[in-house]
């Protein structure tokens, strides 16, 4: 591998891969280092809803062809409670839509695009360590195929997710962390069955939240609120389908079932680390922040970060340091709005228990009032819709 690059990118998730593509598009070289294998990252099942800004970024770098061929454009989504569905019409309320396209397909597209362009991307790299981030000559050390390696660079982009090494390289006394754990998780499944609804269904139910989503006209993706440490062994296919059917029930709706091909439990948290830059290290995506998945924002927020970051790095090389100097501040302003929306969707739609009976009952009455308000007031529905389709980048 080459010993020097302009930007060393740690992590080949959506943030790292998109940053590499946007930088290449601006004539800036980068090397991407990833601990997992190509096969692993191309099959890691995660998010599935793309905002227009994410679609635009895929198009800008020239990686959007498969996404446009297979992505499903959604002009609205359903909120379901008390056995009735209420459509939020994104297109009518905001003029915009979202697209359902799997995160791992987007990752596949970006990997193929990078390799086709001959840009460096190393998989299965171990022991990644960052040095000199407070100097003008930072360096990344690592092991690749058992051999030690090092990469000198101008900047290190920490795109290595929540459990990566980049954020930990910032001295603890320079980092402020804001965190909230939720007392539940999501049990998610993929199933070989045609989606039972043309649009996503977000369901509030006394037994807990449920979400009906999809991956294609023949593959459904569904989620159930569960305990954060739920034991999957306790969930037979029958139990999963009958619980989903109860929570998603509505007049005239039947849940079609089919073979479950993948299942997992995801804990939920809100997390922000400030600032997103220290010396020559910049953070982007889950390395800097986590949102609970209810607003479908994690992937989109990661892409928004690197769109700002790529422009800021390009400005630096063009002689204007200001955008990079203000990267953290600019980014965090948007990050906190998306944190707010994801928290709001989460507290609106989930069943909270354990604050005592009176407090729990009070909360559920407030939730119903808010659901009623959001689905009957055009102003409230518009607020939901404009956040869901994606806030402006700046």
Whether 21 and 110 have beta carbons less than 8 Å apart is answered as: yes
Q: Please list every residue from 275 through 294 that binds ligand FAD, using CB under 6 A.
A: 285-286, 293
Of the candidates 296, 367, 359, 341, the residue with the CA atom closest to the CA atom of residue 81: 367
Q: Does 390 bind ligand FAD (CB under 6 A)?
A: no
- Catalytic site positions: 74, 202, 293, 297, 388
Unique residue bearing structure tokens 């309320």:
93
Question: Would you count residue 12 as binding ligand FAD (CB under 6 A)?
Answer: yes
Quick check: 1 binds ligand FAD (CB under 6 A)?
no
Q: Find the shortest distance in angstroms from Cβ 194 to ligand FAD.
A: 20
Does 11 participate in binding ligand DHB (rule CB under 6 A)? no
Residues 365, 96: Cα–Cα separation, whole Å: 32
Residue 221's binding partner among ligand DHB, ligand FAD, none (Cβ under 5 to 8 angstroms by kind) is ligand DHB
Report if residue 346 touches ligand DHB, rule: CB under 6 A.
no
For ligand FAD, which residue of 164, 185, 195, 208 counts as binding (CB under 6 A)? 164
Identify the bridge partners of residue 329 per DSSP, sorted by sequence position. Answer: none
d(CA 224, CA 296): 15
Q: Are 222 and 207 in contact (CB under 8 A)?
A: no
Rounded to the nearest 10 degrees, the angle between the axes of helix 14-25 and helix 298-317 is 30
Q: Least CB distance from residue 366 to ligand FAD, whole Å?
A: 25
d(CA 23, CA 208): 43
Subset of 84-103 contacting ligand FAD (CB under 6 A): 103
Judged by CB under 6 A, the number of residues near ligand FAD is 30
CA proximity to 19, closest of 186, 147, 156, 140: 156
**Least distance to ligand FAD, CB of residue 13, Å:** 2
**Interaction between residue 35 and ligand FAD (CB under 6 A):** yes
Contact 113, 61 (CB under 8 A): yes
Which of 15, 22, 28, 49 lies at the binding interface for ligand DHB (CB under 6 A)?
A: 49
Which of 133, 169, 191, 200 is in the footprint of ligand DHB by CB under 6 A? Answer: 200
- Token couple for 359: 């407090």
Partner touching 34 among ligand FAD, ligand DHB, none, CB below 5 to 8 Å by kind = ligand FAD
Classify residue 13 by its DSSP letter.
Answer: S
Given the rule CB under 6 A, which residues bind ligand DHB? Answer: 47-49, 200, 211, 213, 221, 293-294, 296
């Amino acid at each position: 591998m080459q010993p020097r690059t302009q930007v060393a990118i740690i992590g080949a998730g959506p943030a790292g891969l998109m940053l590499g593509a946007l930088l290449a598009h601006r004539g800036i070289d980068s090397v991407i280092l990833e601990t997992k294998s190509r096969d692993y990252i191309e099959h890691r099942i995660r998010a599935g809803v793309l905002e227009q800004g994410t679609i635009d970024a895929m198009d800008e770098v020239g990686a959007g062809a498969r996404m446009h061929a297979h992505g499903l454009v959604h002009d609205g989504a359903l909120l379901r409670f008390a056995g009735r569905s209420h459509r939020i019409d994104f297109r009518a309320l905001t003029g915009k839509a979202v697209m359902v396209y799997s995160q791992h397909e987007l990752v596949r597209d970006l990997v193929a695009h990078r390799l086709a362009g001959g840009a460096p991307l190393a998989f299965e790299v171990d022991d990644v360590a960052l040095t000199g981030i407070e100097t003008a000559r930072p360096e990344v050390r690592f092991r690749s195929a058992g051999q030690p390696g090092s990469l000198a660079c101008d900047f290190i982009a920490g795109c290595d997710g929540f459990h990566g090494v980049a954020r930990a390289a910032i001295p603890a006394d320079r980092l402020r962390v804001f965190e909230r754990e939720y007392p539940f998780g999501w049990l998610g499944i993929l199933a070989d069955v045609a989606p039972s609804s043309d649009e996503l269904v977000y369901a509030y139910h006394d037994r807990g939240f449920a979400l009906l989503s999809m991956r294609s006209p023949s593959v459904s993706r569904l989620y159930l609120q569960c305990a954060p440490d739920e034991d999957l062994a306790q969930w037979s296919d029958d139990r999963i389908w009958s619980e989903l059917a109860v929570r998603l029930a509505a007049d005239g709706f039947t849940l079609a079932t089919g073979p479950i091909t993948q299942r997992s439990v995801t804990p939920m948290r809100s997390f922000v680390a400030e600032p997103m830059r220290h010396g020559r290290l910049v953070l982007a995506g889950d390395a800097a922040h986590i949102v609970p998945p209810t607003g479908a924002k994690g992937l989109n927020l990661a892409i928004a970060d690197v769109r700002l970051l790529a422009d800021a790095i390009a400005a630096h090389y063009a002689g204007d340091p200001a955008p990079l100097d203000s990267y953290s501040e600019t980014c965090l302003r948007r990050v906190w709005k998306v944190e707010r929306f994801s928290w709001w969707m989460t507290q609106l739609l989930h069943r909270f228990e354990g604050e005592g009976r009176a407090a729990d009952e009070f909360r559920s009455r407030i939730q119903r009032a808010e659901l009623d308000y959001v689905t009957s007031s055009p102003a409230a529905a518009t607020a939901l819709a404009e956040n869901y389709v994606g806030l402006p980048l700046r």
